[in-house]
Amino acid sequence: MAANLLNARDMALHACLCAASRPLSAYDLLDARRAAEPRIAPTAIYRSLTKLEKAGLVQRVATLNAWIARPPKLPAEPSVLAICDSCGAVEQVAEAGVIQAVTDAVTRSGFHPNRPVIEVHGHCTRCESETDPTRSAPR
């Protein structure tokens, strides 16, 4: 056995995501890594991201096809994401009660929940006050 342990590359990708102020796509990470590893391929990036996700260190943003680092303080569980469609920032809201409410709701209808994905698009405080509220929101 001995390797779903994180290696130097995994750590480097995690560091990229920690340093970024917004979610990065796998191909953003690929470009970033190419500086140090010119021959690295998409498969390697996705393998690292999968490992990091299992370790609770990163989380995929389904509605953006992108990835974020998880704050070390939060438990290794999915969180509610608040995604600003103006500046691209993503806030991870630790609201265990809300997640519970969602899984309870689907359980009530006979479903067996396993992996909740909760992402809310909108505007962060800064952008809401700065910009014209009439804006189009990307997918």
Please say which residue, 38 or 110, places its beta carbon nearer to its own copies.
110
Please say which residue, 69 or 124, places its beta carbon nearer to Zn ion.
124
Residue showing tokens 């067996």: 112
Rounded distance between C-alpha atoms, residue 94 and residue 80, angstroms? 7
Give which of its own copies, Zn ion, DNA, none residue 55 binds (C-beta under 5 to 8 Å, depending on kind).
Answer: none
Identify which of 92, 90, 118, 91 has the alpha carbon closest to the alpha carbon of residue 103. Answer: 118
Rounded distance between C-alpha atoms, residue 8 and residue 73, angstroms? 22
Compute the least distance from the CB of residue 123 to DNA, in Å: 19
Give which of DNA, Zn ion, its own copies, none residue 109 binds (C-beta under 5 to 8 Å, depending on kind).
Answer: its own copies
Task: Map the footprint of its own copies across residues 67-126, applying CB under 8 A.
Answer: 80, 82, 84-85, 91, 93, 95, 97-98, 101-103, 105-106, 109-125
Beta bridge partners of 101: none
The answer to whether 31 and 24 are in contact (CB under 8 A) is: no
Tokens of 35: 């500086």
Residue showing tokens 């909108």: 122
Binding site for its own copies (CB under 8 A): 60, 62-63, 80, 82, 84-85, 91, 93, 95, 97-98, 101-103, 105-106, 109-125, 128, 137, 139
